[in-house]
Amino acid sequence: MTSRTAPASHGGEFRPDIEGLRALAVISVLLYHARLAHVGGGYVGVDVFFVLSGFLITRLLVTEVDHTGGIALGAFWARRARRLLPASTLVIVATLVASAALLDPLTRGFTGRSAVAASVFGANLLFWTRGGYSQLTLPEPLLHFWSLAVEEQFYLLWPLALFGLARLRGNFRRLVVLLAVPIAAASLIACIAITPGRQPFAFYWLPTRAWELLAGALLAVAAPSVVRGAPFLRGVLAWIGLMVIVLCAIGFHDPQDGFPGSLALLPVLATVAVILGGAHTDDGPRRLLQLAPLQWIGKRSYAIYLWHFPLLVLAEAKWGPLHWGVRVALLAASVGIATASFRLLENPIRRSPWLAVRARRSLLVGAGLVATGLVGSAVFLAAATGIATGGESAAPTIVVETVDPAPVSSIASTTPATGAPGGSTTSPVSSSTAAPTATGRNPGALERLAAANAQQLVDAVRTRVVPSNLEPSLSKVYGDTSIVYSDGCLLDNGKTEAKECAYGDTSSSTVVVLFGDSHAAQWFPAFESLAKEQGWRLVLMAKKHCPAGDVPQPETGYTGQCSRWRAKVYERLAVLKPSVVVMSSLWYRGVTFSEYREGWERTFASVKQHAKHVVYLADTPIRKSDVPSCVASHLRSVNQCTVTRRSAINPTRRRADRAATRNQGVDHIIPDDWLCDPKRCAVIIGNVLLYRDQTHLTLAAARYLTPYVAVMLAPYLGA
């Protein structure tokens, strides 16, 4: 983070307590990013830096007005350029060089675009468009530049506002308060209001973060009158503030669970208390914050913040999840590199008399550094775009002519493995799994369909060269989402209302409901195609990160949201009275076998009250790494991206699925044989790329699998 000016003080004197507070803030961020010491809320260190930035920058500008009667904008921006841009540009260029060696071509392209945004102070806007933390599927070694962008945007706008105020008649400090208070209030209200429904926007954008910087700005203006008395009381408040910051760093969890919102008030107000308590009194934590190690870290905190994240991300991207000892070593290495860059680059440029004597020189150097970042990014992107592949492959088709979908009156049959009457339905294709592929109305039709197309999967697993007509192309795969992502029908974090999302023949009395999370929504192209073709109404009820089953979530903030959303879904189902409800969801981790089974049983029981037929479509085989990234790295050996059925299919969840569907009499469909041969699971069939990340099907894959969905639904719809 950037909250660095000289001197770090109120009234001009150096404030060692603020230097120590910087150290604590950057330590919390490092521990959070390295997943160490259970510091699940270490990201609040950024909020501490925001307050410090607003305080220190405003104090400098107010002091300048007191002494000169105005603000020299060129000189201010020149100091910012000397202080911030040399180190940030070096990190951007070094990250690009390291990425060229460590990342695959596809990921390098995304990193290059991140470098462009970071160079022009727009990283926060870029990562917002990518959906925030929850939607990032690729390594993002420059993700931490989002907070620098927020501060840099503040540094451009706030001095301009104060420059205008300085030209007005009246008490300058009072004018600053009159300007800052309504802006900060509006920003805080917007932050609290927007976070539940649009958390990435509230997290990344300056308008919803400005109140944190303005809290520091107001403190800088009001400090002279506040610090005159009650040193003991201010000291006590400072100790409380420091403890609150530590408790937030330890006690907060995933920022998607309602952060920033009103939660950010805690670290922000706590930082204000620490700054106040450290002014002209030793009753607070000033002596603690003045300890030599904290002073040393605080002085280098900007460089440490810049260097640590690329090291962690690039190492994990290359070698996979890292042992805690390796993560500690990487943090130590980042401190060493930061120390060298601080001594050899930051300080010499910041303190250069030749640059300081004229603002224009510093601004030209700053422009040159920005240009360096842009040129480096352009060169990197040009080298990263060449994802060459082999010749074209034919589009795959599924043979359906020989498969009898069975009439509506067919009797449900299951296998001994489900504990219900009936003969084995396990096809030759799935014999290696020792589990049925389907139970319900004529599951044999699905198995015959899989058997008829088994050789296509065997050939797919053996494919070595990525075809040039890959669908979707690697350059477009991460945007390969259906209309439900853009029309708001796949609900995002914070939203619980079950929207009226109908497709196909919306006037039809035959209603099919697709219910679940994004792993239900991934089947939307197949369902929508059939709804249009066969003339029935498709209703989507889907919410990100919320399984259809009443299963507790690892992220505590989602559990309550998901429960409220499911209750709304049940209300809708009672009105719709659908012919069929098809449920599907990701296998979420962090829950026990019994929690998972019992949760799904509760949902099945609730849905059965309102639907004529209930079908559970089990989760698709999943991967431990990003599929497009792997494909881009193995253009002529893509078979190395295939995985074994054993690793792609969670046997514990499979058993829980079978138990829950058996106990509630719900039809159970398992799609493993649609995507895997007896031993391995494919990534490309013909020219169709099957996955757009680790777990979600591409639109092309869902369309390719439509015949399976048609055979699955036929007995319930009379087709």
Whether 117 and 141 have beta carbons less than 8 Å apart is answered as no
The domain tally of the chain equals 2
Q: Is 50 exceeded by the pLDDT of residue 420?
A: no
Q: Last residue of some domain: 384, 403, 426?
A: 384
Residue 544, domain extent: 412-717
Same domain, residue pair 304 and 353:
yes
Q: Are 128 and 201 in contact (CB under 8 A)?
A: yes
Q: Quick one: pLDDT band at residue 442, thresholds 50, 70, 90?
A: low
363-367, 423-427, 670-674: which has the minimum mean pLDDT?
A: 423-427
| 517 and 380 inside one domain | no
477 and 370 in a common domain: no
Structural domain includes residue 392 = no
* Mean pLDDT calculated for residue range 286-312: 96
What are the helix and strand counts (H, E) for the chain?
A: 30, 13
309 in a domain, yes or no? yes
The reported pLDDT for the residue numbered 386 is: 59
Shared domain check, 155 and 78? yes
When pLDDT is averaged across residues 327-342 and rounded to a whole number, the result is: 97
Q: List, in sequence order, every residue forming a beta bridge with 537; answer none if it has no partner.
A: 504, 511
* SS3 assignment for 126-177: HHHHCCCHHHCCCCCCCCCHHHHHHHHHHHHHHHHHHHHHHCCCCCHHHHHH
Question: Residues 84, 164: one domain?
Answer: yes
Q: Which residue has the tokens 């990190």?
A: 91
Peptide bond into 472 cis (omega under 30): yes
Rounded CA separation 502/517 (Å): 17
Predicted confidence at residue 417, as pLDDT, reads: 30
Residue 430 has pLDDT above 60, yes or no: no
CA separation for the pair 537, 680 (Å, rounded): 36
pLDDT (0 to 100) of residue 3: 43
The answer to whether 48 and 25 have CB atoms below 8 angstroms apart is: yes
Average pLDDT, the chain: 88
Q: Indicate the pLDDT class of residue 700, thresholds 50, 70 and 90.
A: very high
Tell which wins on pLDDT, 658 or 427: 658
Nearest of 169, 173, 121 to residue 147 by alpha carbon:
121
545 belongs to a structural domain? yes
Higher pLDDT residue, 368 or 13? 368
Whether residues 380 and 495 fall in one domain: no
Q: Does residue 617 or residue 429 have the better pLDDT?
A: 617
**What is the per-residue DSSP string for 24-93?**
HHHHHHHHHHTT-TT-TTTTHHHHHHHHHHHHHHHHHHHHHHHHHSS--HHHHHHHHHHHHHHHHHHHHH
Question: Quick one: 208 and 347 in the same domain?
Answer: yes
Across 126-140, 215-229, 373-387, 627-641, least confident range: 126-140
Kindly state the average pLDDT of the residues 198-226: 91
- Is 507's pLDDT higher than 50? yes
pLDDT at 4: 39
Give residue 388's pLDDT. 62
260 prior amide bond cis, ω within 30:
yes
Antiparallel, parallel or unpaired: β 490-491 and 412-413: unpaired
559 in the same domain as 492: yes
What is the Cα Rg of the chain in Å? 29
- Kindly report the pTM of this predicted structure: 0.81
171 CB burial (10 A radius; 0-12, 13-18, 19+): exposed
Does residue 10 form part of some domain?
A: no
Query: Is residue 313 within a helix (H) or strand (E), and if so which, with residue range?
Result: helix 301-319
> Does the residue 394 lie in any domain?
no
440, 667 contact by CB (below 8 A): yes
Residues in the chain: 719
pLDDT category of residue 309 using cuts at 50, 70 and 90? very high
Between residues 436 and 665, the one the model is more confident about? 665
Cis omega before residue 182 (within 30°)?
no
Q: Is 316 exposed, middle or buried (0-12, 13-18, 19+ CB in 10 A)?
A: middle
Residue found under tokens 């050899």: 344
pLDDT score at 553? 76
* Three-class secondary structure of residue 590 per DSSP: coil
Asked if residue 312 belongs to a domain, the reply is yes
What is the model's pLDDT at position 385?
Answer: 59
Residue 486, pLDDT > 60, answer: yes
Residue 507 burial (C-beta neighbours within 10 Å; 0-12, 13-18, 19+): exposed
Tokens coding 466:
């990525």
CA distance 291 to 16: 9
Residues 617-640: tens digit of each pLDDT: 999 999 888 899 899 889 999 999
* pLDDT higher than threshold 90 for residue 493: no
- Check whether residue 429 and residue 352 sit in a common domain: no
CATH number, position 596: 3.40.50.1110
Question: Over 215-282, what HEC string results?
Answer: HHHHHHHHHHHHCCCCHHHHHHHHHHHHHHHHHHHHHCCCCCCCCCHHHHHHHHHHHHHHHHHCCCCC
The residues that bridge with 503 in the sheet, in sequence order, are 538
Across the range 146-168, mean pLDDT stands at: 96
Which band of pLDDT confidence, cut at 50, 70 and 90, is reported for residue 440? low
Residue 416 and residue 353 share a domain: no
Q: What is the DSSP string of 176-192?
A: HHHHHHHHHHHHHHHHH
The answer on pLDDT for 441 being more than 50 is: yes
The 10 Å Cβ neighbour count of residue 531 is 25
Q: Whole-angstrom Cα distance, residue 231 to residue 324?
A: 43
Q: Quick one: 469 and 363 in the same domain?
A: no
Using one digit for the tens of pLDDT, what is the confidence trace for 655-683?
Answer: 999 999 999 999 999 999 999 999 999 99
With 80 as the cut, is the pLDDT of residue 322 above it?
yes
Residue after which a domain boundary falls, among 369, 384, 399: 384
- Average pLDDT on 634-651 reads 92
Q: Is residue 405 part of a domain?
A: no
Asked if the structure places residue 401 within a domain, the reply is no
**Separation CA 266–CA 184 (nearest Å):** 16
Residue 90 in this model has a pLDDT that exceeds 50: yes
Asked if residue 43 lies in contact with residue 25, where contact means CB atoms within 8 angstroms, the answer is: no
Average pLDDT over residues 450-468: 93
Identify whether residues 350 and 498 lie together within a single domain.
no
